Structure 1
C-alpha cells in the first residue's frame, strides 16, 4: 500500500468495525451512563452507529478534498451533540469517551505504520500532527454545538416552567381561574403581569378568579403586583375576583392601606365560585350540550 494520506483513510475505514469493538471493550462509564458496560441494547446500537460515524468523520481529514471533512464535521457535531443533550449525558462523560476514541483510532494508524515498515519519521510526525489537530477540531466543534443545544433545551424548559407557574385555566367559555402556588418573587410577578392578560384575551375570558391559597407567603410587593394585575385586567374589560385571602393577609391590606377597588375577595375559591354561582352557572349552561 502506498504511503499517502488517502491510504490511511482506506486502512482505518477497513478497520472501523474492529476499532469500535475495541472502544466498547475499553469504555467503562458510571452506572446509569450511556457509556456504562450494562447500557441498553437500543443505546448500544446508537453508540455503535455514531462511533463508526466518528471514525469516518475524523479520518476523512486525510482525504485530498478538504471540503469532505468540513461537511462531515458539521453534520457529526450537530447529530452527536444533539443526541447527547437529549439523552442528558454530561459533557465530561462525552469528552472522556472521545478521548478513548482518539486513542483507539491512533492505535490503528500506528498499526498501519508498523505494517508498512520503514515509514520515514517526518511522514509519521506529519500524520500524527494532522490526526491530533483534526481530533481537536472535532472536540471543539462538539463542545460548541453541545453548548448551543443545551441552551436551547434550557430555554424550552424555562418557557414550560413559566407557563406552568402562571396557569390560566378556563373553567367555562368565559370564566378562568389563576391558581398561584409557591413563592412569588419580582421576576415571577413581572411574568404574571405580562402573560396573564394576554392568556385571558387568547382564551376569551371575561372573568378571572385569582386564587392565592397556594402561595406560601404574601408580602407587600406581591399585593401591589396583584393590584396592578386587576387594574390591567379591568382596562381590557376583564373582571377579577380574588380568593384565598387569609385573615393575616386581610389585616396586612388594611394596615398598608392598599385599595382593592371594586375587586371582590373571598376566603376560598370554592366560596368565591359558590357566591357568584349565577354567572358561573349561566356560562356552564351555555356549554352544556343539548340532549
Structure 2
C-alpha cells in the first residue's frame, strides 16, 4: 500500500471494528454512566454505532476533499452532542471517552507506520499534525453543540416550569380556575400578571376563580400583585372570584386596608364553584 493520506484512511476504516473493540475494553465510566462496564445492551449498541461514526468522521480528514470532513464533522457533532444531552451525560465524561478514542485511533495509525518501514520523518509529522489538529476540531465542535443543546433543553424546561407554575384550567366553556401553589416571589408574580390574562383570552374565559389555598405563605407583595391581576382582568372583561382565603390572610387584608371591591371571596374552591353553579346555568366541558 502506498504511503498517502488516502492509504491512512483506508487502513483505519478497515481496522474500525477492532479499534472500537479496543475502546470498549479500555473505557470504564462510573456506575450509572453510559460509559460504565455495566451499561445496558441498548446503550452499548448505541455507543458501538456512534464510535464507528466517530472513527469515520475523524479519519475522513485524510481524504483529499476537505469539504467531506467539514460536512461529516457538523453532522457528527449535532448527532452525538444531542444524544449525550438527551442521555444526561456530563460533558467531562464525554471528553474523557473522546480522549480514549483519540488514543486508540492513533494506535492504529502507529501500527500502520510500523508495518511500513522507513516512513519519512516529514510524512510522520504531517500525519501526526493532521490527526491531532482534526481531533481538536472534533472536540471543539462537540463542546459547542453540547452547550447549545444544553441551553435549548434548559430553556424548554424553564418554559414548562413556567406553564405549570401558572396553570389556567378551563372547567366550562367560559369559566376557568387558577390554582396557585407554593411560594410566589417577585419573578413569579410578574409571570402571573403577564401570562394569566393572555391565557384567559385564548381560552375564552370570562370568569376566573383564583384559588389561594395552595400558597404556602402570603405577604403584602402577593396581595398587591393579586389586586393588580384582578384589575387587569376586569379591564378586559373577565370577572374574578377568590377562594382559599385563610383567616390570617383575611386579617392581613383588613389590617392593610386593601379593598377587594366587588370580588367575591370563599374559604374553599368547592364553595365558590358550588355557588357559581347554583346561580348560573353553566355546562361543564365535555
TM-score, normalised via structure 2 length: 0.97
1:279–1:83: structure 2 CA closer, same or farther, 3 Å change rule? farther
Find out whether 1:256 has 2:256 as its counterpart. Answer: yes
The aligned residue for residue 102 of structure 1 is 102
1:133-179 CA deviation, whole Å, 9 max, x = no partner? 11000000000000001111111111110010001111111111100
C-alpha deviation, 1:14, in angstroms: 0.4
SS for the counterpart of 2:64 is coil
Correspondence for 2:276: 276
The correspondence of residues 161-240 of structure 1 with structure 2, limited to 5 A, is 161-240=161-240
- Counterpart mapping for 1:1-291 below 5 A: 1-279=1-279, 282-284=281-283
Which secondary structure state, in structure 2, belongs to the residue aligned with residue 15 of structure 1?
A: helix
Going from structure 1 to structure 2, the CA distance change for 1:188 and 1:4 (only over 3 Å counts) comes to same
Give the distance between the partners of 2:222 and 2:123, measured in 1 at CA.
72
Q: What's the offset of the Cα at 1:278?
A: 2.4
3-state secondary structure, aligned to 2:134: helix
| Structure 2 residues not aligned, in runs of 5+ | none
Q: Distance in 2 between matches of 1:59 and 1:230?
A: 64
**1:279, distance to aligned residue in structure 2 (A):** 4.5
Q: Tell me, in whole angstroms, the C-alpha distance in 2 between the residues paired with 1:37 and 1:7.
A: 34
Query: RMSD of aligned C-alpha atoms?
Result: 1.2
The 3 A distance-change label for structure 1 pair 207 and 279 is farther
Report Cα offsets for 1:4-54 as digits up to 9, x if no partner.
111101100000010001101111111111111111111111111110010
Moved more, 121-130 or 163-172: 121-130
Aligned residues: 286
How many Å separate the matches in 2 of 1:206 and 1:283?
Answer: 12
In 2: Cα distance, 1:278 partner to 1:213 partner: 22
Distance between the aligned counterparts of 1:33 and 1:179, measured in 2?
Answer: 39
Shift of 1:275: 2.6
SS in 2 for 1:179: strand
Counterparts of 2:68 and 2:215, CA distance in 1: 58
Deviation at 1:125, TM superposition (A): 1.5
